[in-house]
Amino acid sequence: MRPFENLLSKWQQEGNGAISKQFYDVNLPPQAIATLQALKQQFPRLNEELLLREILNASLVTLEQHFPYQPGERIVAFDECGDEIYEDCGMTPRFLSLCREFQKQIEADAQSLMGSA
């Protein structure tokens, strides 16, 4: 067993990615607090902030995956069987566009903070 390789592998999996400086102060319902406390006790080396951040991130990814596909009239591709794939006219394209816009703004803000430091 190679403990340092395992540690580095874990850090590569869990320690990468940018964390913004923007904070959100939220009030949780009692059941959510109880669940968070149970998770904290179940995983004592993980703090509440990390648990909440990872749960929220996973929830947002899952939410995005559940946006309904609403086929439009324009064919944008063909699947492996040759069937038409129509553009999505539902919420997903606008949501993804907004996410890209906000991501660019967040990155620009981070760059300007780094430049002024």
Q: Residue 61: phi, psi to the nearest 5? A: -65, -45
As a whole number of angstroms, the distance between CA 48 and CA 3 comes to 27
Dist CA 57 CA 51 (whole Å): 10
pTM as predicted:
0.71
CA separation for the pair 71, 45 (Å, rounded): 46
Rounded Cα–Cα distance for residues 4 and 8 (Å): 6
User: Per residue in 14-55, pLDDT tens?
Assistant: 777 777 778 889 999 999 999 999 999 999 999 999 899 889
**SS3 per-residue string spanning the chain:** CCHHHHHHHHHHHHCCCCCCCCCCCCCCCHHHHHHHHHHHHHCCCCCHHHHHHHHHHHHHHHHHHCCCCCEEEEEEEECCCCCEEEEECCHHHHHHHHHHHHHHHHHHHHHHHHHHC
Q: pLDDT class for 1, splitting at 50, 70, 90?
A: low
Q: What is the pLDDT of residues 41-90, one digit of tens each?
A: 999 999 999 899 889 989 999 999 999 999 999 999 999 999 999 999 99
pLDDT tier, 6 (very low <50, low <70, confident <90, very high otherwise): confident
